[in-house]
Amino acid sequence: MKFVILIIFLSLVTQSNLGFARKQSPVILPLKTKQISSPPNKQISFHHNVTLTVSLTLGSPPQKVTMVLDTGSELSWLHCNKTPTTPSTFNPLLSVFLPCNPVFFTHMQDPYPGFYGNLASDTFHIDNSDLPGTVFGCMDSSFSSNTEEDSKTTGLIGMNRGSLSFVTQMGFPKFSYCISGSDSSGILLLGEAKFPWLKPLNYTPLVQISTPLPYFDRVAYTVALQGISVSGKILPLPKSTFEPDHTGAGQTMVDSGTQFTFLLGPAYTALKNEFLKQTRGVLRQFEDPNFVFQGAMDLCYRIELSKKVLPPLPRVNLVFRGVEMSVSGEKLLYKVAGETRGSDAIYCFTFGNSDLLGVEAFIIGHHHQQNMWIEFDLAKSRVGLAEFKCDLANQRLGLGS
């Protein structure tokens, strides 16, 4: 699932500083999207074509790093050992390494690497403040399904609700981001969003369970997906389709580290069939059973290269408890770079099948979060949404593009 990488160091893992809360004033940072090319073959392996990145400084002396923002991860980590595939690294000159044996770190999703390394702590520099003692993983060696992405970032910053996540260590009760759909930019706000031009958000509560289950991530931003509609037509699916089962499999997570949105098999099949039905005569399906974009997106179309604007498309609404997320227009189809058939470009539906990834969850990716103000309220255990032109936010905050 992941996702956008922001990297920061996690603080020392001791009883005295786990769960500590540093009082911070709101901080605004620019977000950038970074393109990652797809391989030219038909069966495109799963990886992220676009990640959300933030440039930060950390360490003593301060070093600039480019990190992926990931609300689906807890531990932040950095490449600390320069290799041909990871030229962008952090040099832990004065970092404090914690007294433990080397640790093998893994991610809940395949696209991000597993790695051997150590826990370390160092100073994170933000908004003219020095924040010492932040704990992170210092990666010595790794295996990854996407070496190109590794080469363009220094690491990943974990932003979930776990005790070692960056947002928890820094003591921010909430954070927000807004991703532009037009100019590859956005903003990340750590703290309270108090802007007169931001309209009120609609909130959906986080789903929380008290009993640990093997396939339920209790520190993810899990929300209650209750239904899906296409042009107002509710898909005829039982409520149980969207509910976690007795093992915890089937939760719905809001994830900045995943580009697209992935639905479990029954929901994906119902959405795919209804979208096909409503676009018949409007779009020409690309019928090649060997072409599956990113290993999980098997509904694609042929659209003439000469067409600069997509035809009108049926709106897809994701219905959560208390709020809906609307996906329309260009957010519904993604042009696959480098793929043409005759005079046609190949576009794929931006919803994929979680079953094909081997992921037992619904994942709401950042592509469908474009031009929305998304707030993660840890203090009140909720996620807030409001449609907003994010390029205007950049302008009003003086961040540029």
| C-alpha to C-alpha distances, 326 to 45, 157, 231, 335, 385, nearest whole angstrom | 28, 28, 10, 20, 11
b/e map 62-80, b = 16+ CB within 10 Å:
ebebbbbbbbbbbbbbbbb
- Catalytic site residues? 70, 255
Tell me which residue has tokens 């924040």: 131
Q: How far is the C-alpha of 111 from the C-alpha of 301, rounded, in Å?
A: 25
Q: Which residues contact 174 (CB under 8 A, 6 or more apart)?
A: 191, 192, 375, 376, 377, 378, 379
H or E segment at 271? helix 265-279
Strands 251-254 and 222-223: antiparallel
CB neighbours of 39 closer than 8 A, spacing ≥ 6?
45
**Cα Rg of the chain, angstroms:** 21
Q: What's the CA gap between 98 and 14, in Å, rounded?
A: 10
Q: Which residue type does 214 have? A: P
